[in-house]
């Protein structure tokens, strides 16, 4: 299992996997293992893990379908994929090397977690590579045990990791307070895209920023399904155009549920 660390350089779109994605997702898997994970595993281990000569598209496609897979794209190009089965097991999370640090892994794990919560699962489980472990820890997973699976006669190292899904909804309420007309103009210019991107995030139940009788003040009401979705939203916004343009504007917020 591989990772990406995120700073949201471009918009990431998550959608269900389809048969037309078989070749692209297999290519992402092979590139992520042979390039990104090569920093943490030996050439012999990488070869045993990737096994490109032993993989065919029909088998790959059937496996992807069985695991309830999702595909991430950036500007329409395949950037990564993940999955979660009915028991909450994440078998794969891989990001193409060229799309590292663009929010792909975070958006994928967010979609997987939303799916798991909607299915009323109580935990997520994954066998996580050395490379991916820091990312999963940042997303609230903890190591249960270090493992040494044998692939093609070669021993590798990974970690059984779990995340409990017991969070309740998180609500934010308050005001965005401008002190100059220039700040108010900045809010008006950037607000439509900010609303659209946030409402499309996994786990966003509602998100509203509405004008008040004071032309310098907006009322903000947010509701996310759980703490992980709220944190993913905050992480994305911090490096977004909206976050950068409005960073100096006063927020008077209260949060319930964290």
Q: What is the pLDDT of residues 63-93, one digit of tens each?
A: 999 999 999 999 999 999 999 999 999 999 9
With respect to residue 4, please indicate whether it lies within any of the assigned structural domains. Answer: no
* pLDDT recorded at residue 167: 60
* pLDDT recorded at residue 72: 97
Higher per-residue confidence, 225 vs 104: 104
* pLDDT recorded at residue 86: 94
With respect to residue 188, please indicate whether it lies within any of the assigned structural domains. Answer: yes
Q: Are 185 and 215 within 8 A, CB to CB? A: no
Task: Report whether pLDDT(174) > 70.
Answer: yes
| Domain that includes residue 89, residue range | 12-164
3-class DSSP state for residue 202?
A: coil
Tell me the pTM.
0.66
Cα–Cα distance list, 106 to 43, 96, 122 (Å)? 28, 14, 20
- Same domain as 32, residue 126: yes
- Same domain as 151, residue 84: yes
When computed from its CA atoms, the radius of gyration of the chain, rounded to whole angstroms, is 20
Task: Report whether pLDDT(149) > 90.
Answer: yes
- Same domain as 141, residue 30: yes
Chosen domain end from 117, 133, 164: 164
- Same domain as 81, residue 32: yes
With respect to residue 1, please indicate whether it lies within any of the assigned structural domains. Answer: no
With respect to residue 6, please indicate whether it lies within any of the assigned structural domains. Answer: no
Instruction: Identify the helix (H) or strand (E) that includes residue 158.
Output: strand 158-164
Overall domain count for the chain: 2
- Same domain as 116, residue 70: yes
């Amino acid at each position: 299992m591989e990772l990406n660390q995120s700073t949201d350089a471009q918009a990431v779109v998550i959608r269900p996997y389809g048969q037309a994605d078989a070749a692209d997702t297999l290519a992402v898997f092979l590139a992520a293992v042979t390039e990104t994970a090569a920093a943490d595993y030996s050439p012999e281990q990488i070869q045993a893990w990737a096994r490109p000569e032993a993989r065919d598209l029909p088998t790959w496609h059937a496996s992807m379908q069985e695991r309830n897979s999702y595909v991430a794209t950036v500007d329409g190009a395949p950037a990564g994929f993940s999955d979660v089965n009915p028991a909450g097991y994440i078998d794969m999370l891989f990001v193409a090397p060229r799309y590292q640090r663009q929010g792909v892994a975070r958006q994928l794990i967010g979609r997987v977690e939303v799916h798991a919560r909607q299915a009323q699962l109580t935990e997520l489980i994954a066998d996580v590579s050395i490379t991916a472990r820091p990312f999963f820890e940042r997303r609230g997973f903890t190591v249960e045990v270090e493992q040494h699976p044998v692939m093609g006669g070669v021993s590798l190292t990974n970690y059984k990791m779990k995340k409990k899904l017991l969070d309740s909804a998180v609500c934010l309420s308050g005001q965005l307070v401008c002190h100059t007309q220039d700040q108010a103009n900045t809010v008006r210019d950037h607000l439509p895209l900010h609303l659209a991107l946030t409402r499309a995030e996994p786990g966003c139940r509602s998100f509203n920023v509405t004008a008040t009788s004071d032309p310098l003040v907006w009322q903000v009401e947010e509701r996310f399904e759980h703490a992980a979705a709220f944190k993913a939203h905050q992480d994305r916004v911090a490096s977004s155009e909206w976050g950068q343009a409005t960073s100096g504007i006063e927020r008077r917020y209260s949060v319930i549920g964290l």
